[in-house]
Amino acid sequence: SEELLRNSDRLAVMGQLAAGLAHEIRNPLTALKGFIQLLQSSPKENKSYYPIMLTELDRINLILNEFLLLSKPRPTLFGDTDIRVVIRHVVTLLDTQAILSKVRIVIVEKEDLPVIRCDENQMKQVFVNVLKNAIEAMPDGGEVTVTTLLSEQDVVVRVQDEGDGISDELISRIGQPFFTTKDKGTGLGLMVCNNIMENHGGRLTIRSVPGKGTTVEVELPIREGAAQEDRLVRV
């Protein structure tokens, strides 16, 4: 019966997601319809709407892509991983975006870390999402510090930024589907992260001091051994 409950939970979550998805996609679709009507009546005068239409289409595409990542069951491939290697790789990936935003990413490796069992690609996705959020939180530039350390039972990756932080009233809404404070955000990134962390028996926590910055902590358990067979990732 526990499994049944979890399935119906899953259905409820998918229902909420679908409703949110419909809502998110209806806006750009309505805009596109309006532009097409304008172009139909006077094609020459309204040519300047084409780039805006393409942007709206890109937005629909982005929302659907992130949504599919959430809803499509993917096999999780656990392997023995040095999380520091994953971090270095992700930081390299985001180099260009960081430089363009005048953000410096500093890696601090506190101590030697044990190898952990995780799906490297999924963990990369988590750190890309978290680091992008940190960069986006500092439109005028600043520093992001990524610290890897060891706690009693976990490997911890701490991502600190110097952005504006998150107000107390908004922090509880973070991670809810489609909650975003950004013009071009989807509000799905941290939901995907949470999903992946749950699948790893780990967790993701956010602390924020408005005006000072935000700290995201990703905790991964050190070896549960056989308990972590390949599983499916689902919402």
Residues that bind ligand ADP (CB under 6 A): 129, 133-134, 137, 161, 163, 165-166, 174, 179-182, 185-190, 214
Q: Which residue has the tokens 């510090």?
A: 145
Query: Other CB atoms closer than 10 Å to residue 215's CB: what's the count?
Result: 18
Site track for Mg ion across 179-208, x = CB under 5 A: ----------x-------------------
The strand ranges marked E within 21-114 are 74-75, 79-81, 103-109
Beta bridge partners of 126: none
Separation between Cα atoms, residue 214 and residue 163, nearest integer Å: 7
Please identify, using beta-carbon distances, which residue of 185 and 221 lies nearer to ligand ADP: 185
Contact 188, 70 (CB under 8 A): yes
Please identify, using beta-carbon distances, which residue of 78 and 178 lies nearer to ligand ADP: 178
Choose among Mg ion, ligand ADP, none what residue 28 binds, the Cβ cut-off being 5 to 8 Å by kind.
Answer: none
| Strand-pair category, 103-109 with 142-150 | parallel
Choose among ligand ADP, Mg ion, none what residue 181 binds, the Cβ cut-off being 5 to 8 Å by kind.
Answer: ligand ADP
Residues 123 to 142: which contact Mg ion by CB under 5 A? 133
Please identify, using beta-carbon distances, which residue of 76 and 186 lies nearer to Mg ion: 186
Choose among ligand ADP, Mg ion, none what residue 137 binds, the Cβ cut-off being 5 to 8 Å by kind.
Answer: ligand ADP
Separation between Cα atoms, residue 101 and residue 83, nearest integer Å: 26
Q: In the complex, what is the shortest distance from the CB of residue 165 to ligand ADP, in angstroms, rounded to a whole number?
A: 6
Q: Which residue has the tokens 């001091």?
A: 209
The encoded tokens of residue 167 equal: 């107000």
Please identify, using beta-carbon distances, which residue of 208 and 228 lies nearer to ligand ADP: 208
Please identify, using beta-carbon distances, which residue of 31 and 206 lies nearer to ligand ADP: 206
Contact 98, 146 (CB under 8 A): no
Query: Which residues bind to Mg ion, rule: CB under 5 A?
Result: 133, 189
